């Protein structure tokens, strides 16, 4: 029983499990797309942190990052890829299963 539980815990997607990245994914899951400033305001992360975590999520193929211009200002727009969406849904299912097994 305990071994099964630990195996379950080991299955966690570490990329999603990190709190800052989880917050980014949760925001992006709820929207079609959002820009850097919106993510900054909703997650409460610092610019450096947000950039670093977005880069990791982009490298994993979970987030698509697009650069554009709003007037003369550069603007970074992010959206979840289908893989990112699935990873987030898988994570939530895993979390609920784990909570059930622990409870």
Partner 1 sequence: MAAEASRTPQVQEMMRRARSAWWEDGITEIVSGLGLLILGFLGFQKEMLPAPRNMGWQLAWTVWLGVFIVGGNLLIRRLKARYVWPVAGYATPRQDRDWRWAGAFFLTLILLVVVAAWNPPHFGAAIAGLPLFIFLLALYRYTRLRRFLVIGTLALVEGLVLALFPLNATAALHLILGTIGLFFCFSGLWNWLRFRRRLQEAPHG
Q: How far is the CB of 79 from partner 1 (least distance, A)?
A: 9
Distance CA 36, CA 52 (A): 12
Is 77 a binding residue for partner 1 by CB under 8 A? The answer is yes
In the list 11, 17, 41, 97, the residue contacting partner 1 (rule: CB under 8 A) is 41
Assigned token pair, 62: 């979970």
The first and second tokens of residue 67, run together, are 């650069």
**How far is the C-alpha of 34 from the C-alpha of 14, rounded, in Å?**
23
- Tell whether residue 62 is a contact of partner 1 (CB under 8 A): no
- Listed ranges 2-10, 11-19, 49-57, 72-80: which one lies at the site for partner 1 (CB under 8 A): 72-80
Beta bridge partner(s), residue 69: 74
Binding mask 11-30 for partner 1 (x = CB under 8 A): ---------------xx-xx
Contact between 40 and 50 under an 8 Å Cβ cutoff? The reply is yes
- The H or E element that residue 76 is part of is strand 73-80
Q: Please state the closest distance from residue 54 (CB atom) to partner 1, in A.
A: 14
The contact set with partner 1 (CB under 8 A) reads: 26-27, 29-42, 70-71, 73, 75, 77, 85, 88-90, 92-93
């Amino acid at each position: 029983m305990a071994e099964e539980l630990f195996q379950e815990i080991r299955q966690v997607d570490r990329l999603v499990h990190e709190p800052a990245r989880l917050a980014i994914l949760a925001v992006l899951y709820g929207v079609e797309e959002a820009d850097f400033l919106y993510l900054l305001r909703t997650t409460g992360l610092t610019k450096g942190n947000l950039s670093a975590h977005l880069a990791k999520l982009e490298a994993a193929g979970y987030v698509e990052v697009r650069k554009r211009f709003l007037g003369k200002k550069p603007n970074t727009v992010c959206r979840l890829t289908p893989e990112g969406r699935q990873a987030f849904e898988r994570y939530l299912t895993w979390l609920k299963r784990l909570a059930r097994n622990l409870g």
